[in-house]
Structure 1
């Protein structure tokens, strides 16, 4: 059962007269919106994962090299970062409900061209459009959730949204793998497109913008921080040590997640020798570890914040240590003997890597004025998702260069991934301090007035 925040403030009293759930900060409707956005993130990551699950079938049908497949995987992120910034900016000016609806419909339609007589170019262009639509989704969804919860209570709903990305693969990977085996890889693409359209129809009825908004005139002034009453140039927010530390550590985490989506299914099939169906099931294991880690981090962070612990420790040091551990497990996996030990270490290492996203989202939200939060979070997503452009392509190059010995290519890939995660964890521990940077931004704006 999802927890509810203890303090709830009724914002729109008319909701009781209309029979709808009242728009209370941290109330029942806040959690309905959170659940809907969790479902959206599940669909989002199932869309991402379906290509990796179908990788072997697609490469066999079209005769693609590892580097060509890596190019298709990276193409997903070609406009991902640009659209995350642009749409994040729009989310500060327009209804997040409408923005998310448009994004979901676009990415559902983008899945359809590959169902016909597809080829390398068709799949490539489809992934480009899909990435452009899905790029802003996580940042805008987090921005939407933040409108429903006070700062001290945002860690848990933020963690739930991040957990949903893992659940999308945990639930989707076995189902989509079965579809691919039983009905061909195109059926899996059709399934995720239909599910996206169904979500859009429900969201059109259920979705709503939250009450904590710069433009909300009926929200209690107690909900508005001093930082929310000023305008800070976005470049100043993006140049804070907190934003830089969050962005770099999330980049490291997303490097691992990108490989988990694009290359781990192929690694399990081509290098470790598992069947496609078994690989689909095993692919879910790191995501299960991620769910457990995010639960622990989300509830732990919220408990620390409510106990008066600084956000530097709750949102910087603790997630940094988790990312550091993720890198260590991934790096050690290359020295393991036997499929079982290799799989166990990679499961833990890659599974822990998602901790940087949830913590980074909340920390960046803490240093962003509410009227600029959309673009700050969008730029955060845009930066760390650059890893999604680079990592799959680099992995493809390394595997191709290994020639008849793909094991050495995968070994180099996971060694590099481990080192990047270790560096990212150290940067989060060293740089992230949201309370300090929020105070500096507020003071700087006051001096300039």
Structure 2
């Protein structure tokens, strides 16, 4: 039985909608006329589960290259710098695609957009099963990155159509958690496939899983009720900011949006190295076997799952108790990010011991907590009709770290190959400092209530 939506402080109460007018009714991916969906109801959680699986596939697609790195480099004679280039190539069109498709998701069905993206992911994996090499890997990763770039923002945009603002922290955290679960489940399975059936088999496996998800999404996927149609059809479902159009530049230059984007940039710097370089670091620098590496590489993701789930529960409880969004969605995640940076510096500079793996797990696992909070904040300060492009721009900025970090790591590791130092000390030392800076920015800049009021007034004046 669907529960009533809890009122957020300062926002109008939203009740599960009655059957909507014809203009607001939804259609499935096959075009069938469907009953008006319920905010936060059973269908909302079905969509959440499907989107979680999509994000699991999304990160498994990213991780498969890192898990195969040693085998690929050995087979094709790829240097550390070339591998860094391939890793960075994934993000070449990532940011541009996130912005462009985010804009399109405000105008077209998010369900159909996600279906197209998932199909492209699977197809981009297939060239690798043939005669591959540096060029084939490079091009396939560029195409994959262009299709995966918009995924997180569009999926969050689709998810936010099913929940009111005060109730988005847990589903948003779950969707972000799914990226970690994709690694926890995928890394050991893909490592086993690589060891027993060759690295190409891992690419084939993730491609097939993507195609199966796409087939299920055709049946299940549909649009949620809290979208731009609600503004016209059911004004009581919307907030004051949803009834105005705010100049986009004012949203993207607000301190809150910049704080979200920059702190997430710092976190994604850490996450991109976790995906692209941690397996190689564990194997080449710390001397673990491929099987051990597959297990150890999941530990930061387990930390991320626990942290995100705990944060989502705490934040939602704080919001319902009247704690400001600034403290719940800005200060708290910022403190977690600061802790992540400190642990990263610790595992780099403290003597290697059994405790090093704990610090690696905490340092690289805690940083992702900021994504769920920052994503929710971006949706909080954006009108419904502009949420897609605001989230797309958010992803476009923070994902630039994915272009820069793996390439810089490749240069540093490659330059140190003949030296006593492996180069990883510099790589993760820089990462720790960047993450600490991101935590400071989250704590000091993210103030959703203040900027939402200012943007609402600006939109009303413009209109």
TM-score range, shorter chain: over 0.9
Give the direction of change, closer, same or farther, for the CA distance of 1:99–1:324 in structure 2 (3 Å limit): same
Give yes or no for contact 2:5–2:164 (8 Å, CA) kept in 1. no
Pairing 1:284–2:298 present: yes
Q: 1:66 aligns with which of 80, 87, 97?
A: 80
Quick one: distance in 1 between partners of 2:3 and 2:71?
A: 45
Q: 1:78 aligns with which of 92, 110, 135?
A: 92
Give yes or no for contact 1:5–1:153 (8 Å, CA) kept in 2. no
When the two structures are superposed, what TM-score results if normalisation uses the length of structure 1?
0.96
Q: How many residues are treated as equivalent by the alignment?
A: 445
Deviation of the 1:339 alpha carbon: 4.2
Corresponding residue for 1:348? 362
Deviation of the 1:333 alpha carbon: 1.0
Corresponding residue for 2:280? 266
Aligned with 1:86: secondary structure? Answer: helix
Deviation of the 1:4 alpha carbon: 6.6
Corresponding residue for 1:29? 43
Mean Cα deviation higher: 18-27 or 304-313: 18-27
Corresponding residue for 2:347? 333
Pairing 1:158–2:172 present: yes
Aligned with 1:118: secondary structure? Answer: coil
Corresponding residue for 1:100? 114
Quick one: distance in 2 between partners of 1:50 and 1:403?
A: 24
Quick one: distance in 2 between partners of 1:109 and 1:181?
A: 24
Deviation of the 1:281 alpha carbon: 1.0
Q: 1:189 aligns with which of 198, 203, 220?
A: 203
Quick one: distance in 1 between partners of 2:313 and 2:195?
A: 39
Pairing 1:439–2:453 present: yes
Give yes or no for contact 1:271–1:407 (8 Å, CA) kept in 2. no
Corresponding residue for 2:224? 210
Q: 2:399 aligns with which of 366, 385, 389?
A: 385
Q: Describe the superposition over 1:249-287 as per-residue Cα deviations: whole angstroms up to 9, x where unpaired.
A: 000000000000000001111111111111011100000
Q: 2:53 aligns with which of 39, 47, 71?
A: 39
Quick one: distance in 2 between partners of 1:390 and 1:5?
A: 45
Corresponding residue for 2:64? 50
Q: 2:307 aligns with which of 281, 293, 304?
A: 293
Quick one: distance in 1 between partners of 2:254 and 2:159?
A: 24
Deviation of the 1:208 alpha carbon: 0.5
State how 1:364-379 maps to structure 2 within 5 Å. Answer: 364-379=378-393
Aligned with 1:334: secondary structure? Answer: helix
Q: Describe the superposition over 1:335-392 as per-residue Cα deviations: whole angstroms up to 9, x where unpaired.
A: 2222422221111010001011111100011110000000000010010000000000
Give the direction of change, closer, same or farther, for the CA distance of 1:417–1:217 in structure 2 (3 Å limit): closer
Give the direction of change, closer, same or farther, for the CA distance of 1:19–1:76 in structure 2 (3 Å limit): closer
Quick one: distance in 1 between partners of 2:367 and 2:250?
A: 28
Give yes or no for contact 2:66–2:280 (8 Å, CA) kept in 1. yes
Give yes or no for contact 1:92–1:374 (8 Å, CA) kept in 2. yes
Corresponding residue for 2:29? none
Give yes or no for contact 1:76–1:128 (8 Å, CA) kept in 2. yes
Structure 1: gaps spanning 5 or more residues: none
Quick one: distance in 2 between partners of 1:11 and 1:401?
A: 64
Q: 1:303 aligns with which of 313, 317, 321?
A: 317
Pairing 1:9–2:23 present: no
Quick one: distance in 2 between partners of 1:213 and 1:179?
A: 42
